[in-house]
Copies of this chain bind each other. A is one copy, B any other.
Amino acid sequence: MERVAIIGASMTQFGKREGWLSDLLAEAALDCLDDANVEPSELEHLYTSNMASGEFEGQTGIMNMLAHDLGAMPAYTQRIDQTSSSGAAGAYAAWQSVASGASDLTLLVGGEKMTHRSTGESTDVIASITHPVEYKHGVTLPSFAGLTARLYLDTYDAPRESLGKVAVKNHKNGVDNPHAQFQKEVSLEEVLESPIVADPLRLYDFCPITDGSGALLMCPESKAEEYTDDYVLLTGIAGATDTQVVHERDDPTVMGGVVESSREAYEMSGRDPDDIDVAELHDMFTILEFLQSEDLGFFEKGEGWKAVEEGVTDRDGELPINTSGGLKSKGHPLGASGVAQIYEIYQQIRGEAGPRQVEADVGLACNVGGFGNCVLTAIMEGPQ
């Protein structure tokens, strides 16, 4: 099977944005095409990852709108939704389009426009990601996070402060990311004194509601050098589901979708956890960074919190995690988040991460749909 190269990538400013989703998608698309010096008319497939433009904006058919706005016709379009992991699902779909031979040049553009709706309206849409036997009774994503955090702290004798330190670390990284929604540090005290949302988690344990978009341009490795010498290979990518009903899981501190998707991605890339130099994890809630860092095989089960306490996952640590600022400080526009994770790894491998730069030959991104209902893991490296 021929390998697939990422030859261009971009993200827009994340945060509260004016205009329509289609504006954000076009902005990211044009930046990405510029990055690779490609014209829209060259595109064969043009994929859009987005969870809910119909619900948030009352506008469907956004993938066809994007083709029109770019002048990319007759490029084939589709929209890919995998809830909060739509971005990585779109990257997997783009990978499949190239690896199957269906397209020699595929642009994926992920995005979401949410902040124009009230928090209640947005969270109503997001709650319905999970199973009605749970969310109809008020057990929504933040509730799962609180319950899981409590179970984790109790089971592994972890201090509450360790969760807060995830937020502190990721906000610190976000200061140096000009695209991040929050470019400011938070202190441990501020996290621990912020309003309670779902005990033991507080407001600063949660990512914000965000508008934004990102894009990735892919082609077969054999054609990559026609565009750039500095491409990044997507050497491993896979996804896996876990139970949709969270209370059916044997051990809710284990994310089965992370375990299984990473097992497949490691096998596909010929890499193992020790090879990973930098990782972007899905810290929609601080507790999720612990769980993923363990279920990806970086740390023993129940030891992820110690890695944060000991600075292992700091930017100057042995395995920097969320150098971009993570969802926590960068923001979480559902259809764009997984794309932005891959964009950060792409920049790190190309040595273009500026003040956030770490030493990285191989990187990993893990994008979580719902409360681990479906998870994707992607592994990237340079062409050597």
Residues of A within 8 A of B (CB): 1, 46, 51-52, 54-55, 58-61, 63-65, 67-68, 72-83, 89, 92-93, 95-97, 99-102, 124-125, 128-132, 238-245, 256-257, 260-261, 369-370, 373-374, 376
Contact of A60 among B61, B67, B95, B129 (CB under 8 A): B129
A94 to chain B, nearest CB (A): 10
Contact of A93 among B65, B93, B243, B257 (CB under 8 A): B93
Q: Are B370 and A73 in contact (CB under 8 A)?
A: no
Beyond A65-B244, A99-B101, whether A60 also contacts B83 by CB under 8 A is yes
Q: Are A241 and B82 in contact (CB under 8 A)?
A: no
Separation of A58 and B93 alpha carbons in the complex (Å)? 25
Q: Count the copies.
A: 2
Contact of A245 among B59, B68, B93 (CB under 8 A): B68
Separation of A82 and B61 alpha carbons in the complex (Å)? 7
Closest residue of B by beta carbon distance from A72:
B241
User: Which residues on the B side are within 8 Å of A51 (C-beta)?
Assistant: 60
Separation of A373 and B78 alpha carbons in the complex (Å)? 11
A254 to chain B, nearest CB (A): 13
Beyond A74-B240, A74-B242, A78-B82, whether A370 also contacts B61 by CB under 8 A is yes
A3 to chain B, nearest CB (A): 12
Q: Are A241 and B132 in contact (CB under 8 A)?
A: no
User: Which residues on the B side are within 8 Å of A72 (C-beta)?
Assistant: 241
User: Which residues on the B side are within 8 Å of A76 (C-beta)?
Assistant: 92, 238-241, 261, 374, 376
18 inter-chain pairs at a CB distance below 8 angstroms, sorted by A residue, are A1-B101, A46-B241, A59-B132, A60-B129, A61-B370, A67-B244, A74-B240, A76-B92, A76-B240, A76-B241, A78-B81, A78-B374, A79-B80, A93-B93, A96-B96, A99-B100, A99-B102, A100-B100
Separation of A242 and B72 alpha carbons in the complex (Å)? 9
Separation of A108 and B122 alpha carbons in the complex (Å)? 29
Q: Are B100 and A1 in contact (CB under 8 A)?
A: yes
A169 to chain B, nearest CB (A): 30
Q: Are B82 and A129 in contact (CB under 8 A)?
A: no
Besides A64-B370, A67-B374, A68-B243, 8 other CB < 8 A contacts? A52-B60, A54-B128, A58-B128, A61-B373, A67-B241, A74-B256, A78-B82, A81-B81
Separation of A338 and B89 alpha carbons in the complex (Å)? 22
A354 to chain B, nearest CB (A): 33
Separation of A67 and B373 alpha carbons in the complex (Å)? 10
Contact of A244 among B68, B92, B101, B256 (CB under 8 A): B68
Closest residue of B by beta carbon distance from A90:
B78
Q: Are A79 and B82 in contact (CB under 8 A)?
A: yes
Closest residue of B by beta carbon distance from A129:
B61
Contact of A65 among B55, B58, B131, B242 (CB under 8 A): B131
A170 to chain B, nearest CB (A): 26
User: Which residues on the B side are within 8 Å of A243 (C-beta)?
Assistant: 68, 73
